[in-house]
Amino acid sequence: MKAEAMILQEGKNGNLEAAIDQLLNVEKQMRFAGDVAGTKKAVTEILQLCFEAKDWKSLNEQIVNLSKKRGQLKQAVTAMVQQAMQYIDETPDIETRIELIKTLNSVSAGKIYVEIERARLIKKLAKIKEEQGLIAEAADLMQEVAVETFGAMAKTEKIAFILEQVRLCLDRQDYVRAQILSRKISSRAFDADTSKEKKKPKEGDNVVEEPPADIPSLLELKQIYYELMIRYYFHDNDYLEICRCYKAIYEIPSIRENPSQWIPVLRKICWYLILAPHDPMQSSLLNSTLEDKNLSEIPKFRLLLKQLVTMEVIQWTSLWNSYKDEFENERNMLGGSLADKAAEDLRHRIIEHNILVVSKYYSKITLKRLAELLCLTIQEAEKHLSEMVVSKALVAKIDRPMGIVCFQVAKDSNEVLNSWAVNLEKLLDLVEKSCHQIHKETMVHKAALKA
C-alpha cells in the first residue's frame, strides 16, 4: 500500500511516465496472479493519474493498451470503462470528448460484459452529433445498438433508448425505420405496476442495473412514446390512430389531475374523432368519449360530438361558422395545430355523415334532391357518394340516366331464397289461422240455429 501511494505521489509531482510504468508492472503481476481486485485497482489508478495530469492523449493510449493485454480480466476492463466514462464530462473541448468516447467504444465493441456502457457511450456520441446538426449520422449511430437484447439493462433505460432511436428517425424523416423501431415497445410495457416491491434476484439470475438518474419514469416515457407516435401518424394523416394516442395520454394520472393539461388533450381527442373516417372503431371511441364526465367542461365539443351521433343532416356552413374560431385556437393549445388539410377533411367527414343519414331514411332518392340536402352540386354529390361506395362505407347504386340513387343492399341468392321461405311460412301460418277462425265461426252459427 505504501509503495502504491509513493507511485501515485510521484505521478502527481510531474513524473507521469515513470509512475505509469511502475503501475503497469503492478498490473501485470496482479493479472498473472489472477487477482481481480488488485488488477482493477491498478488499471483505475493508471487512468486516474492520466486524468489528474490532464494528459488526454496518454489516457486514450492507456485505455487501448490495457484492454489489449494478454489474458486481461473482464472485471478490469469493465472497471476501466466505467472509470473513464466519468471523465467524459470533464474534457476541455468537444474534440477531446469525441476522441475519448470513440476510444471507449472501440474497447467495448463486441464485449457483452460492457454492452450497457457501450450503449450509453453511443447515446452520448449521438447527442454530440445531433448538436452539431448531423441528424442522419446520429440516427445511424443509435441504430447500431439493439438494447432490447440486453438482459442486465433496466426496463426504463431500454425504453428511453429505443424512444431516442425513434425520435432521431422521425427527425430525419425516415418514417419506415421509425415504425419498425417503435414496434419494439409494447403498449403493455407502460402498464406495469411500479408500486410492487422488486423481487430479490435468485442465484444465477442476471442482475439488472439501476438506470441513470436522467432516465424518466415509466409514465413519463409513456407520454413521450405516444407523442412520438402522434408525430409518426401525423405524417400519414391517420386521424384515428392519432386520436387513440391522445386517448392514451389522456389516461395518464398526472395529466388527468391537471385541468390545464387534460382539457387541450380532450379537445384534440374530439377533433381527431370527427376527422377520422366512419368505421366501427371510430363509432366506439365516439360513444365512449361522449360518456366522459369531463366533456361537460368543454360544452361546445360535447354538442359537436352529439351532432355526429344524432341521425340528422348537419349544415356545413353553420357548423363551420360556429367552430372556426375553436379550430384556429388549436395552434395555441398543447400539441399544436391540426393537420394542414384538416379543415378540408372536416368538411368531407360532415358530407359523409350527411350521406349516411340520408341512406338511413331513404331507400331511393334522386341525385338532385340528394345534392340539395348536402348543399352541394350534383357532380360533387355524386363524387362523394362514389368515394364512399368504393371505400365500402356505404352500399348504393346510381341510375345515371334516371338520376336516381338506390340505397337498398343487394342480396345474394341464398338470402333471397331464405326470405322467400320465411314469407311462405308466414303466409301459410296466416291461412291456417284464417281457416281455424272460419271453422270456429261456422260451428258457433250452427249451434245457434239448432237451438
Q: Which among 95, 96, 93, 115 is positioned nearest to 105, based on CA atoms?
A: 115
pLDDT at 289 over 70: yes
273/281 Cα distance (integer angstroms): 10
The owner of cell 409494447 is: 186
pLDDT tens string 21-46: 888 788 788 888 888 888 888 888 88
Mean pLDDT of the chain: 82
**According to CATH, where is 1.25.40 located in the chain?**
1-142
Mean pLDDT of 76-97: 84
Q: How many CB atoms lie within 10 A of CB 53?
A: 16
Give Cα separations from 396 to 301, 365, 374, 389, 404 (angstroms): 32, 11, 16, 7, 10
pLDDT tens string 332-379: 766 667 766 888 888 888 888 888 888 888 888 888 888 888 888 888
* DSSP letter string, 51-99: HHTT-HHHHHHHHHHHHTSTT--HHHHHHHHHHHHTTGGG-SSHHHHHH
* DSSP letter string, 299-336: HHHHHHHHHHHSSS---HHHHHHHHHHHHHHGGGSTT-
Query: Yes or no: is domain 362-434 CATH 3.60.15.10?
Result: no
**According to CATH, where is 1.10.10.10 located in the chain?**
362-434
Per-residue pLDDT band for 447 (boundaries 50, 70, 90) equals confident
Query: Yes or no: is domain 1-142 CATH 1.10.3470?
Result: no
**pLDDT score for 430:** 92
Q: Of all residues in the chain, what percent carry a pLDDT higher than 90?
A: 4
pLDDT at 240 over 50: yes
Per-residue pLDDT band for 192 (boundaries 50, 70, 90) equals low
Tell me, what amino acid is at 220?
E
pLDDT tens string 221-232: 888 999 999 989
Give Cα separations from 445 to 331, 434, 441 (angstroms): 85, 17, 6
Q: Which among 434, 359, 363, 364 is positioned nearest to 393, based on CA atoms?
A: 359
CB 91 within 8 A of CB 122: no
Tell me, what amino acid is at 341?
K
49/212 Cα distance (integer angstroms): 26
